[in-house]
């Protein structure tokens, strides 16, 4: 199928909104972007466009069910929603778009989903994984930050900001926060998937990330048998691509260009 620059795809029982920047996934290397727990395809801002220009690869991004303009998700979400997204939904989406080779780039919950997919599916088409502010385990400090975020949302200002990106902002927020703050979610741990990743991994994290400590990075380094490149950005919290866009773009583009060159795709452009 020929993908338009934006539109919707029927994946399972959901209509999933997407954006495609650059060449078709069946014609060139593609970077598939997976958004954060309160993100969407539009919430990435101009970072995907700059990433496409910096690499020459196609960039495909989408909103998961319950986010952005995609179909609503059934609530409450199951506690293994990230595993289901990685092992059930993402394989079908990649088949549908004609993905042939490229990278997964995930932020926060999206990074966790990318890690689960890379370790759980063993897809030879995926040449590397970029994890921005990933979660592999829950941490008390991160859960406390989520409680603070819930308070901020209820106060109104955060709700107004997020409403720009989601057609039903309350559905989106409640679907996310109710899982993370469920006491039964406290033992959540996906580190077992990391040992089965067989491609290079890049981890990018803000030194002041309020949702995850350096322990998340240590787990990646301890559990992965593949190379792990770590970039810690000073004075950055949970959103490197917003708070340090130039440094994040450079790191992502360098990693992508290194891995996507030499597989018959020709040389990809570098960041100027």
Q: 252, 262, 264: which is closest to 54 by C-alpha? A: 252
Domain boundaries, the chain: 6-260
Single pTM value for the model: 0.95
**pLDDT (tens place) for every residue of the chain, 272 residues total:** 899 999 999 999 999 999 999 999 999 999 999 999 999 999 999 999 999 999 999 999 999 999 999 999 999 999 999 999 999 999 999 999 999 999 999 999 999 999 999 999 999 999 999 999 999 999 999 999 999 999 999 999 999 999 999 999 999 999 999 999 999 999 999 999 999 999 999 999 999 999 999 999 999 999 999 999 999 999 999 999 999 999 999 999 999 999 998 544 433 444 43
Task: Return the SS3 of 229.
Answer: strand
Per-residue pLDDT, 261: 84
Other beta carbons within 10 angstroms of residue 2's beta carbon come to: 6
Kindly give, in sequence order, each residue whose CB lies less than 8 Å from that of residue 81, ignoring residues fewer than 6 positions away: 179
Q: What CATH homologous superfamily does 6-260 map to?
A: Alpha/Beta hydrolase fold, catalytic domain (3.40.50.1820)
Kindly give, in sequence order, each residue whose CB lies less than 8 Å from that of residue 144, ignoring residues fewer than 6 positions away: none
Per-residue pLDDT, 268: 45
CA distances from 84 to 204, 238, 265 (A): 24, 24, 32
Phi–psi pair at 207, nearest 5 degrees: -65, -25
């Amino acid at each position: 199928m020929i993908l338009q620059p934006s539109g919707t795809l029927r994946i399972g029982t959901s209509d999933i909104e997407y954006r495609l920047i650059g060449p078709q996934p069946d014609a060139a290397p593609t970077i598939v972007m997976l958004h954060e727990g309160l993100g969407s395809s539009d919430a990435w801002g101009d970072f995907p466009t700059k990433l496409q220009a910096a690499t020459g690869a196609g960039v495909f991004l989408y909103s998961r069910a319950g986010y952005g303009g995609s179909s609503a998700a059934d609530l409450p979400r199951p506690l293994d929603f990230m595993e289901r997204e990685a092992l059930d939904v993402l394989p079908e989406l990649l088949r549908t778009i004609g993905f042939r080779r490229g990278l997964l780039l995930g932020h926060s919950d999206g990074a966790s989903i990318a890690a689960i997919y890379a370790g759980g599916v063993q897809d030879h088409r995926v040449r590397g994984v970029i994890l921005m502010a990933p979660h592999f385990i829950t941490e008390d400090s991160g859960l406390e930050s989520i409680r603070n975020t819930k308070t901020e949302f209820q106060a109104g200002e955060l709700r107004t900001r997020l409403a720009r990106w989601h057609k039903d902002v309350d559905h989106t927020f409640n679907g996310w926060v109710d899982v993370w703050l469920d006491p039964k979610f406290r033992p959540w741990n996906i580190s077992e998937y990391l040992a089965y990743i067989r491609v290079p991994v890049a981890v990018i994290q803000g030194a002041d990330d309020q949702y995850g400590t350096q322990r998340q990075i240590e787990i990646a380094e301890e559990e992965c048998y593949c190379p792990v490149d770590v970039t810690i950005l000073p004075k950055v919290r949970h959103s490197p691509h917003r708070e340090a866009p130039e440094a994040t773009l450079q790191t992502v583009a360098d990693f992508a260009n290194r891995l996507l060159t030499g597989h018959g795709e020709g040389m990809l452009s570098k960041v100027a």
